Chain A
Amino acid sequence: MSEVVELEIPARPEFVALARLVVSAMAATDAALSDDQVDDLKIAVSEACTNAIEAHGAVGADVGVRLRCWSDERGLRVSIEDRGPGFDPSILPEHPPPTDPDRLKFERGLGIPLIRALVDEVEIASSGEGTEVRLAMWHATNGRH
């Protein structure tokens, strides 16, 4: 692991944009990632930071959310760590299908599905002491597209 960019943001909503900015700037230094991949990564980072901030709020944790970002030969990796209460990522609530009128009862819970759809690899390690979300965006085989 070399050339790691580390950032700790206060666990407040106004700092999520800063996290996106730093990660997208870091991603832009990697010419093998496409603009679409950078856009997708920004959304995934935003979702993970939003969840992290809410997790801190849930336990009143007075510490920052830690981000690390680094490149390797396969692609770009981002880690988002919180000190929240943790959750079981295998039992996320399921939404009714879009055509079901009850779908409108669910305004939340789209963050983790979006992360999973947008990045190439997601690992979520969660315990009672916090959660680490690790995202990876692999280099497109044909370079920038």
Chain B
Amino acid sequence: MDLGLDVAERNKFAVLSVRGEVDVYTAPKFRERLIELVGQGKHHIVVDLEGVEFLDSTGLGVLVGGLKRLRSHNGDLVLVCTQSRILKVFEITGLTKVFSIYDTVEAATDPNSQN
């Protein structure tokens, strides 16, 4: 099982598209990629979860850690997700109130948006 992590630039954002299953085995690779982006000065990151087939609390932990890291740089981490089975874990854990979640990468990277 491999985790796809592709990075693209859009407006002032780095867009990290995640594909595959995020669990205790693949989460370290996801965390490292986020830390690497922050280290490169990317402080406004969109994580696109549309290609994610499975995500458990280990993946949530990576996202919470990423957001904390970016906030400390006056940045932000926002999500793109429309899949109900993925959104459900954010809802149960109350994290829908922590993350801004958009329907599309275009909406998340809109230079006129609040983020």
B54 partner residues in chain A, CB cutoff 8 A = 20, 42-43, 46
- Nearest CB in chain B to that of A54: its residue: B24
* B25 in complex: contacting residue of A14, A42, A97, CB < 8 Å: A14
Given contacts A39-B85, A104-B68, A105-B68, contact A13 B23 (CB under 8 A): yes
Whether the pair A114, B89 counts as a contact (CB closer than 8 A) is yes
Q: Which residues of A contact B65 (CB under 8 A)?
A: 107
Tell me the count of chain A residues lying within 8 A, CB to CB, of chain B: 30
Interface string of B60-94 (1 = CB under 8 A from A): 11101101100100000000000001001100111
What residues on B are CB-neighbors of A107 within 8 Å? 61-62, 64-65, 68
Interface residues of A in 33-53 (CB under 8 A from B): 36, 39-40, 42-43, 46-47, 50, 53
Q: Let me know if A104 and B23 touch, CB within 8 A.
A: no
Which residues of chain B are within 8 angstroms of A110 by Cβ–Cβ distance? 57, 60-61, 93
CA of A36 to CA of B88, assembled, Å:
11
A residues in contact with B60, CB < 8 Å? 110
Q: Is B23 touching A50 in the complex (CB atoms < 8 A)? A: yes
Question: Within the complex, which residue of B61, B71, B98 is in contact with A108, where a contact is CB–CB below 8 Å?
Answer: B61
- Give Cα A8–Cα B23 distance, bound, in whole angstroms: 19
Q: Please, which residues of chain B bring their CB within 8 A of the CB of A46?
A: 23-24, 54, 56
A16 at the interface (CB under 8 A from B): yes
Q: Does B21 contact A (CB under 8 A)?
A: yes
CB distance from A47 to the nearest CB of B (A): 6
Let me know if B92 and A118 touch, CB within 8 A.
yes
Query: Which of B1, B23, B94, B96 is the one whose CB lies under 8 Å from A97?
Result: B94
* Residue in A closest to B61 when the chains form the complex, CB atoms: A107
Alpha-carbon gap, A83 to B16, bound state (A): 38
Known A39-B85, A98-B94: A50·B64 in contact at CB below 8 Å: no
Seen from chain A, the residues whose Cβ lies within 8 Å of a Cβ on chain B are: 13-14, 16-17, 20, 36, 39-40, 42-43, 46-47, 50, 53, 95, 97-99, 103-108, 110-111, 113-114, 117-118
| Given A17-B25, A99-B97, 8 additional A-B pairs, CB 8 A | A16-B23, A20-B54, A98-B95, A98-B98, A103-B98, A104-B64, A104-B67, A110-B93
